A = this chain, B = another copy of it.
Amino acid sequence: MASRIKDSGERQGDSRSRILDAALREFSALGLAGARTDRIAERAGVNKALLYYYYGSKEKLYAAALELIATRIRDRSMAVLTSRATAGERLLRAALDHFDRILAQEDFQSLLQQEMMRLHRGEPGAMAVLVKNVFGPVQHMYESMVREGMETGELIEADWMQIHLSALGANVFYFLSAPVWRMVMSMDPLATEALAARRKALVEFLGQAVFRDRRRGAELAARVLADMPMPEVNRERLRMGRKDEREK
């Protein structure tokens, strides 16, 4: 495609994908209902009718954006869960990767929250794509991983679901509540040091909690931490989504 890029072909990054990209940002920031098709078109640098030409409706565009990011997340998660390491090490890596993912790339987390609220509201089809493409496969793989760890004697005998729940919950709630803590306390839970501390505590806690041999847990935790440095974060991005104080 790319059509008539003859010599000065700089624009034209494929309208279709530019729309999807703009939609992803708009939807993750404002949600399905809050997103404005006009704004998506504007940010993609195309006419609004083109959204409809390619994607048919606002809802379908939303679905496309969701599917795009779902694929990305699933691939990344599955890669960690199936990497070449013992089950225990993979468990620690998965927890840390989850933390880092929320930290570096909040699109998914926002979209996920939106979908959860839609599900809670009983909107039909909510979460379906995510469950099928992400949570289903990932959870299944997580279960195998924990079972394997228990069989080899590396991990304690416990309900794999409780472990998964704790590991996810700790991360999700930390980031979810961080803006509130900052308002209540003087301390900033999203400052680099606070993040590093929390990240370390997460792995060390899991190392203590789920390994049969706690010394091995501690050792692995240290190794994994050393091996997976905390990603650089676009500082501004964490602070606040946007500060549209347009009118009023």
Mark A residues whose CB is within 8 Å of B: 29-31, 33-34, 110, 113, 116-117, 119-122, 124, 127-128, 131, 135-136, 139, 161-162, 165-166, 168-170, 172-174, 176-177, 179-181, 183-185, 201, 240-245
- Whether B136 contacts A165 by the Cβ 8 Å rule is no
Give Cα A230 to B113, complex, Å.
Answer: 28
A242 and B122 in contact (CB under 8 A), knowing A169-B170, A184-B136? yes
A80 to chain B, nearest CB (A): 19
Q: A165-B174, A168-B177, A172-B173 are in contact. Are A121 and B241 (CB under 8 A)?
A: yes
Which one, B127, B170, B179, contacts A180 given CB within 8 A? Answer: B127
A113→B180 CA distance, assembly (Å): 11
Q: What is the bound-complex CA distance between A34 and B121, given in angstroms? A: 11
- Is the CB–CB distance between B34 and A184 below 8 Å? no
Q: Which of B30, B169, B184, B201 contacts A135 (CB 8 A)?
A: B184
Measured between beta carbons, the chain B residues less than 8 angstroms from A127 are 179-180, 183
**Cβ-defined contact, B174 with A116, below 8 A:** no
A to B CB contacts below 8 Å, 28 in the list: A30-B121, A31-B117, A33-B33, A110-B120, A113-B117, A116-B176, A116-B177, A116-B179, A116-B180, A120-B179, A120-B241, A121-B240, A121-B242, A122-B241, A122-B244, A127-B180, A128-B183, A131-B180, A131-B183, A135-B180, A135-B183, A139-B184, A139-B185, A161-B181, A162-B201, A165-B174, A168-B173, A169-B177
Contact present for A120 and B169 (CB under 8 Å): no
Q: Which residues of B contact A33 (CB under 8 A)?
A: 33-34
Contacts of A242 in B (CB 8 A): 121-122
Known: A34-B33, A131-B183. A124 touches B169 (CB 8 A): no
In the bound complex, how far is the Cα of B28 from the Cα of A120, in angstroms? 11
Q: How far, in whole Å, are A77 and B127 apart by their CA atoms in the complex?
A: 33
Q: Which residues of B contact A170 (CB under 8 A)?
A: 166, 169
